[in-house]
């Protein structure tokens, strides 16, 4: 289990340049999460590299406390297109 604020903080610290982030508890059990993250740091990176950056930021949280993490990662540019 982990709290939304802790997830958000770890992602902000680890990924940096996060301009928008939404963390959602999918099951109410604090171990199945979804995170939507917009960061300049994702620009020019493949989906795998973007997700690996998030996993690296969360480190040991991914080895137990977080059972599942659905990720939606965007650079500001692709997020604007998505929103537009």
Partner 1 sequence: MEDTLQERIQGIIDSNDVVLFMKGTKHFPQCGFSATVVEVLRRSGSEFQDVNVLEDPDIRQGIKEFANWPTIPQLYVRGKFVGGCDIIREMYEKGELDAVLSAKEG
Residues contributing to the site for partner 1 (CB under 8 A): 47-48, 51-52, 55, 62-63, 68-72
**Could you tell me which residues come within 8 angstroms of residue 32 by beta carbon, excluding any fewer than 6 positions away?**
25, 26, 67, 68
- Residue 75 and residue 40 in contact, taking contact as beta carbons nearer than 8 Å: yes
Minimal distance, residue 12 CB to partner 1, in Å: 19
Looking at beta carbons only, is 4 or 55 nearer to partner 1?
55
Looking at beta carbons only, is 16 or 52 nearer to partner 1?
52
Distance of CA 71 to the CA centre of its chain: 6
């Amino acid at each position: 289990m982990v709290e939304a604020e802790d997830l958000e903080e770890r992602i902000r610290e680890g990924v940096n340049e996060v301009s928008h982030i939404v963390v959602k508890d999918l099951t109410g059990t604090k171990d199945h999460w979804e995170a939507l993250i917009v960061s300049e740091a994702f620009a020019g990176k493949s989906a795998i590299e973007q997700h690996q950056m998030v996993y690296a930021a969360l480190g040991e949280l991914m080895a137990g406390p977080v059972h599942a993490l659905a990720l939606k990662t965007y650079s500001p540019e692709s997020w604007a297109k998505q929103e537009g």
